[in-house]
Chain A
Amino acid sequence: MRHLLGIEHMSRDEIERVLETSEAMLEISQREIKRVPTLRGRTVINVFLESSTRTRVSFEIAAKRLSADAINVTRAGSSLSKAETLADMARNLAAMSADVLVVRDSVAGVPHMLAERVRVPVVNAGDGCHEHPTQALLDAFTLRQSLGSLEGRVVAIVGDISHSRVARSDIYCFTKLGAEVRVAGPPTMMPAGIEALGVKPYFSMEEALPGADVIVMLRIQQERLAGALFPSVREYARTFGLNARTLALAKPDAIVLHPGPINRGVEIASDIADAEPSRILDQVTNGVAVRMAVLYLLTGGGT
């Protein structure tokens, strides 16, 4: 791997290599001394031009557990909005001998654009409504912990499919690993032609959930939804929220993922988020391991 820009162009082998490497990385976080010397002397720069706590901290911890130096750049106080300016900033960071650039931006394609302009490996930490590859990898890792394999499993992704980079990356990742993926949400949140990605759209929980091994609940992104795509939060919670009633539609041992941060009482009821079927905190734990694996594999410079 030269860069990690999206799951779309990864092979199944590449995905599995990341997941297998993550197994070893997970053990490191369980030690009393949570650090290995592997990336000693390397510099990872996290360029987060869109707000984030979990992903930014996760990348920072991942870099530090591998003994790399981690530096965070945020948008605050700067006027970075034009693509050229961004490219220049990335060139400057590369000129300071950065070994990896981790990039998050609210505009799709920014990490790809930077990857073409700098000679440093670039990791996409979420670009607009396009992809969020490390989230999909940690989701797949979490599912394999519980289910062993995704082969033949039924995964329902529920929420705002149109605006979700997590949904897109999950769809690519889970289908490549052999799962049957369903997407569900109101018609206003369902992109036309989603079937082209190898998934089937559903417009109610009652249709989407029966037989599901896994339910991925997406966050309702109030900050991205300028116009109203659904009549009210309460109605959304009633029709597409996960609660005891809708969870019961899926397989009895179905497990629940959510990329966070959760809107309690909107897309997911509190008692479900905190209960047995939820793997939400495992996802956060595993996120560090998966990002360690990605940083390790990308700094090799090989394929």
Chain B
Amino acid sequence: MSKSTEPTRAADRTPERELAPGRVVLDAAGIQRATTRIAHEILERQADVTDLVIVAIVRGGEPVAKLVAAQLEQLSLRKIPQGALDITLYRDDVVARGVRPMPRPTRMPVSLEGKRVVLVDDVMFTGRTVRAAMDAILDFGRPAAIQVATLVDRGHRELPIKVDFVGKNIPTARAEQVVLRSRADGELEVAIV
């Protein structure tokens, strides 16, 4: 969830983090609108939706992917296969010594061979998570295409990676953290803390 100054700290990406005060930049209605628009754009971009697969990046991408996939199914009247990819074991910083982040199981219900894969994450930051996710995806087959959707793009890319579908661009300082979190009443919101 949180994109801290350590770029791909998957172990900290828990949607249930404590509510630090911070500035809310996207509320539940905004998240709904953004994911609906992402779903429309995904459909516009595909010549054929039969090969579409939504892959959430564990764990922050999961609630976003759920919303996007629900919209996609409503709009296309089809069941869209959904996977969840944990990138911990593909991170470029696990090679370094340090306390190991906890990997979580990946769920991939279909082979990705020949599929059009849309990777979904909550916050796009350095691009290192997407880099790792692309390596992981290639272990599940050779997709026809990989596209990237993110709820929030906060900038500060460190790798030449572009985003195909953005919910909202939010300029940030590098040291700030952007989190997708669920409030006590269950509503999702994005905040800068």
Q: Which residues of A contact B (CB under 8 A)?
A: 17, 20-21, 23-28, 31-33, 35-38, 40-41, 66, 296-297, 299-303
CA distance A302 to B101 in the complex (A): 10
A-B contacts, 28 of them at CB < 8 A, read A21-B100, A23-B104, A24-B86, A24-B102, A24-B104, A24-B105, A24-B106, A27-B106, A27-B107, A28-B89, A32-B141, A33-B139, A36-B90, A37-B135, A38-B89, A38-B90, A38-B94, A38-B95, A40-B95, A41-B95, A296-B89, A296-B100, A296-B103, A300-B97, A301-B98, A302-B98, A302-B99, A302-B100
Contact with A along B76-106 (1 / 0, CB 8 A): 0000000000101110001101111011111
Are the CB atoms of A20 and B100 closer together than 8 Å?
A: no
Are the CB atoms of A301 and B97 closer together than 8 Å?
A: yes
From 46 to 92 in chain B, residues with beta carbon under 8 angstroms from any chain A beta carbon are 86, 88-90
CA distance A35 to B89 in the complex (A): 10
For A38, the closest partner residue in chain B by CB is B89
For A20, the closest partner residue in chain B by CB is B102
Are the CB atoms of B98 and A300 closer together than 8 Å?
A: yes
Cβ contacts under 8 Å, B88 to chain A: 24
Report the tally of A-B residue pairs with Cβ distances under 8 A: 60
CA distance A114 to B140 in the complex (A): 40
Are the CB atoms of A302 and B90 closer together than 8 Å?
A: no
Min distance, Cβ A104 to any Cβ of chain B, angstroms: 24
CA distance A24 to B85 in the complex (A): 11
Min distance, Cβ B32 to any Cβ of chain A, angstroms: 31
For A26, the closest partner residue in chain B by CB is B105
CA distance A49 to B86 in the complex (A): 37
For A302, the closest partner residue in chain B by CB is B99
CA distance A35 to B138 in the complex (A): 11
For A67, the closest partner residue in chain B by CB is B89
Cβ contacts under 8 Å, B106 to chain A: 24, 27
Min distance, Cβ B169 to any Cβ of chain A, angstroms: 32
